[in-house]
Amino acid sequence: MLEQITQLQSQAVSDLESVADLDGLERFRVAYLGNKGSVKQLMASLKSVPTEQKPEFGKRANELRQALESEYKQRKQSFGDDGQRQTGPAVDVTEPGTAADLGRPHVVTQTIDGLLEVFGRMGFGVATGPEVEDEYHNFVALNIPAEHPARDPLDNFYLQEPASAGGAVADLPGGAQLLRSQTSTVQIRVMETTPPPVRIVSVGRVYRPDEHDATHYSMFHQIEGLYVDRNVSMVDLKTTLIQFAHAYFGAEAEVRLRPSYFPFTEPSAELDIKMQVKDRWDWVELGGCGMVDPNVFEAVGYDPEQWSGFAFGLGVERIAMRKHGISDIRWLFENDVRFLKQF
């Protein structure tokens, strides 16, 4: 009698193997698990089994039924909606996936990294200074006297009432504190702590209450350069800036030095570059430069008879704009990912 169960089992397994679609599977179900199916008949035959074999027969018949039901269910799931047996995984791995939204450095940060790289190749180290400065480092040591218009409270973000406005700053060694308006402060801080020669650049934020337009913002970045050694001349300054411009923007970039005035350099010049603003190409000022004024050397304790040097301070946003053809500085700070994603 038990032999009958084994035969039925091997028959069922081989029938199930040859099932090719849902119709075939349904025929299998009716033949084995249906009301008049073989398994039902097997169960019905229990009564004619000799008493001593009944428990074993019943147990084996039950196991067979459970095994076939579970095989049947599994096989049913393996057929797709079209009723055909699926041979591969249920996921189409050749479909394009959903790309993760990767972040990246802001275009201004990318510009800073690029600038430090070019000046690094030219032998400039990197220096830093605080964004909250005092009047001494932002003005006095840079040869900018109290009555100079650059110190006007309306042109600076003072955190305390400045000396020029009659503020009570006697107890503050460096004068009133303000958000630095230029990175030239770092020239002073470096020379105060480093004996010559020095060759550094410094990048950082500066703040001015300028009205926002296509080329001005109230917070922006500058890259400051300072080179002090024996016999440094205007030729070194001009060569350095032109070499930099061609290395960074490409040999076709048009730059010029235009005579200018800064209290802390003599002579002084502006570095201009041709770039597109709105819909036309024009000269745009990248920054100021010049030979370090002897008064600045005296303020930091360098002997102006022995040492000479040049300094420059360039606007980083304007550099980024020229590099990428961005014609309005305000786009850099709107935090519109659709814009920033382009760089």
Residues within the interface to ligand FA5 (CB under 6 A): 182, 184, 208, 210, 216-217, 220, 222, 262, 265, 268, 285-290, 311-313, 315, 317-318, 329
DSSP per-residue string spanning 228-245: EETT--HHHHHHHHHHHH
The answer to whether 135 touches 210, Cβ cutoff 8 Å, is no
* Cα–Cα dist 272/9, whole Å: 91
The DSSP output letter for 88 is S
Output 177 or 182, the one with its CB closest to ligand FA5.
182
Between 21 and 298, whose beta carbon lies closer to ligand FA5?
298
Nearer to ligand FA5, 156 or 184 (CB): 184
Q: Are 15 and 67 in contact (CB under 8 A)?
A: no
- Looking at the Cβ atoms of 158 and 262, the one nearer to ligand FA5 is 262
In the complex with ligand FA5, which residue's Cβ is closer, 156 or 164? 156
- The CB-of-286 to ligand FA5 minimum distance in angstroms stands at 5
* Least gap, CB of 98 to ligand FA5 (angstroms): 39
Residue 162: asked if its preceding bond is cis (omega within 30°), the reply is no
Treating both helix axes as pointing N-terminal to C-terminal, what angle do 234-249 and 316-324 enclose, rounded to 10 degrees? 40
Q: Which residue number, 71 or 131, has a Cβ lying nearer to ligand FA5? A: 131
> Minimum distance between the CB of residue 226 and ligand FA5, rounded to whole angstroms?
8
Q: How far is the CB of 105 from ligand FA5 (least distance, A)?
A: 20
* DSSP states of 306-317: T-EEEEEEEEHH
Amino acid at 24: G
Residue nearest ligand FA5 by beta-carbon distance: 315
Minimum CB distance to ligand FA5, residue 140 (Å): 14
Closest approach of Cβ 154 to ligand FA5, in Å? 14
HEC sequence for 92-148: CCCCCCCCCCCCCCCHHHHHHHHHHHHHHHCCCEECCCCCEEEHHHHCHHHCCCCCC
